[in-house]
Structure 1
Amino acid sequence: MPTVIFEDEALLVLHKPAGLLVHPNGWAEEPLAETLVGWVQAYTQAPAYLAHRLDRATSGLILLGKNEQVARILMESFLRQEVQKKYVAVVRGWPAADVFRVERPLAKDLDGPLQDACTDFRVFSRSTCAFNSTGRYPSSRYSLLWAEPQTGRMHQIRRHLAMQRHYLIGDSKHGDNTQNNYLRQYQGITRMLLHAVELRLPHPEQAGQ
């Protein structure tokens, strides 16, 4: 279940665990009570006003307003790209540069018209593990990345990493499932290794961030 990270009269910031659905949809079977929105409604005894969303497989910070007016202000901040969102990710391989940008358009809702999309990446660390996760090499290389999307497209970080062939570990939709299956079976990695670690934005009712 979620954990409260910050709360005041206007805002609620939660840590969402990986695997928790944000809200009911037509593809999942969870009832409202088993989603993040259902948990928030039980916690606040009021409607839940989401400012943005996280993929089910992604863990980390998610922001809600305490009322409809605050949520509308927050959503406008996201639309105006006033919100800094930062993630940490574990990927296959070693990027050639320590700092790089992927600026490639992405289809809206995965199969719609193309939209501009931009993500900045920075390498925290690189490692080599003495196991063969793909059947091609005697060892496996991984990198820990800092990811900062400058736009907000569906699965943006995951898709931009796939375009670079630095597949996000545990990503069953855009990643390398041969490697994912090996890491699940032999290393116990059962989730996607993407975590929303920071949100920075103007406070809707106070000066500062």
Structure 2
Amino acid sequence: MPDIQDLPLGPGVRLIAHDANGLAALDKPAGVLSHPNDRADEPRSLLHTRYVRDGEYYEWTSQGRSPETGNGTPDAPPRRLWLLNRLDSATSGAILVCADGDLAREIRALFLRKQILKVYHALVFGIPSQARQIWRDRLVVQKKGGVIRTGTGGNIPSEAHMTVLRQQRSGPFPLALLELEPRTGRSHQLRVQCASRHLPIVGDATYGDFAANRAIAKKHGLKRLCLHSHETAFDYEWRGRTHTFRATAPTPSELLRLL
């Protein structure tokens, strides 16, 4: 059985679900990187250890059993944890990992085939005109100098299903908590789709309402992107059996306390 215990978790990261095959979900706080870009990033990453970019996995050895200890204990093989999806550092919530490399390839294939349910919660300025909507857009994604920018008016089809969970009309800023289920996985998709409908996500420093962000930060101390990966669920085939995996990361209190 793949070992999913005693992980060198990064700051505030929690294990929220795992199964006997080595699949697991972690709850990542806002501000923590899905993976480090260099060694200096390791202390603020999902796991506080080395990340192998080519293989898309974290790697470490158990304490006291590495060749460097010099204490005569047997050398332990390196442990690896494969990263199955990514969240922007500013986005919190459920992120998937796997302790089995072969299974990791299978789950990544499910992502490519869009067979994984992903549900996000977003606190936005404004209130949608309808309680439920299907958002379809054609986006453009550009990357310059390592910075990704996404906009509307492109050729990349993007779809998300939106449901209003809560709303607050009083006060200087009408606010709504939205459930967003992306059916495509474009970079910054949900942030752009919200902004293009005049529903910018609270705290979005790239696509948001900067004046409203400053005002709400000053009044309530809210200084994060209010986008959260709430739930991930899917079925998968492994070793002749069908398995179901589901993970839920509770919505952070800072997304709820203004409603």
TM-score by length of 2: 0.71
Superposition map of 1:94-173 within 5 A:
94-109=127-142, 110=149, 114-130=155-171, 139-173=172-206
How far did residue 70 of structure 1 move?
A: 1.2
Structure 1, unaligned runs of 5 or more: 131-138
**Separation of aligned partners in 2, 1:51 and 1:74:** 7
User: Contact conserved, 2:29 with 2:93, CA < 8 A, in 1?
Assistant: yes
Q: Is the 8 A contact 1:37 1:48 kept in 2?
A: no
Is this contact kept in 1: 2:150–2:188, CA < 8 A?
A: no
The structure-2 alpha-carbon separation of the partners of 1:162 and 1:47, relative to structure 1 and needing over 3 Å to count, comes to same
User: What per-residue deviation string (whole Å, max 9, x for no partner) do you get for residues 94-152 of structure 1?
Assistant: 1101001111012234369731110110011210242xxxxxxxx32011110000000
Sort the Cα spacing of 1:33 and 1:46 in 2 relative to 1 into closer, same or farther, 3 A. farther
Residue 194 of structure 1: aligned partner: 227
How far is the alpha carbon of 1:68 from its aligned partner?
Answer: 1.7
Q: Determine the C-alpha separation between the residues in 1 that align with 2:182 and 2:233.
A: 13
Offset of residue 33 of structure 1:
3.9
Match of 2:105 among 64, 72, 87: 72
In the superposition, relative to structure 1, how do residues 141 and 67 fare at CA in structure 2: closer, same or farther (>3 Å)? same
The residue type paired with residue 217 of structure 2 is R
Q: State the AA in 2 paired with 1:114.
A: N
Per the alignment, residue 124 of structure 2 pairs with 91
Higher relative contact order (CA 8 A, sep 6+): 1
Change (3 A) 1:120 1:108: same
**1:23–1:38 contact (8 Å) kept in structure 2:** no
> Is 1:35 aligned to residue 45 of structure 2?
yes
C-alpha distance in 2 between matches for 1:101 and 1:183? 29
Residue of structure 1 equivalent to 2:26: 14
- For residue 169 of structure 2, give the secondary structure of its aligned residue in structure 1: strand
Instruction: Provide the rounded CA distance (Å) in 1 between the counterparts of 2:46 and 2:136.
Output: 32
Query: Could you list the per-position Cα deviations for residues 49-90 of structure 1 after superposition, in whole angstroms to 9, with x for gaps in the alignment?
Result: 111101111111000111221111111000100001001111
Partners of 2:36 and 2:42 within 8 A in 1: yes
Aligned counterparts of 2:24 and 2:157: Cα–Cα separation in 1: 30
Report the Cα offset of residue 34 of structure 1.
2.9
Runs of 4+ in structure 1 over 6 Å off: none
More helix as a share of residues: 1
What one-letter code is carried by the residue in structure 1 that aligns with 2:36?
Answer: P
TM-score computed with the length of structure 1 as normaliser = 0.87
Query: What is the alpha-carbon distance in structure 1 between the residues aligned to residue 30 and residue 155 of structure 2?
Result: 28
Give, in whole Å, the separation in 2 of the partners of 1:41 and 1:66.
10
More strand by share: 2
Alignment partner, residue 60 of structure 1: 93
Change (3 A) 1:38 1:140: same
The count of residues paired between Structure 1 and Structure 2 equals: 199
Structure 1 contact 117–151 (Cα < 8 Å) conserved: yes
Say which one has the larger Rg: 2
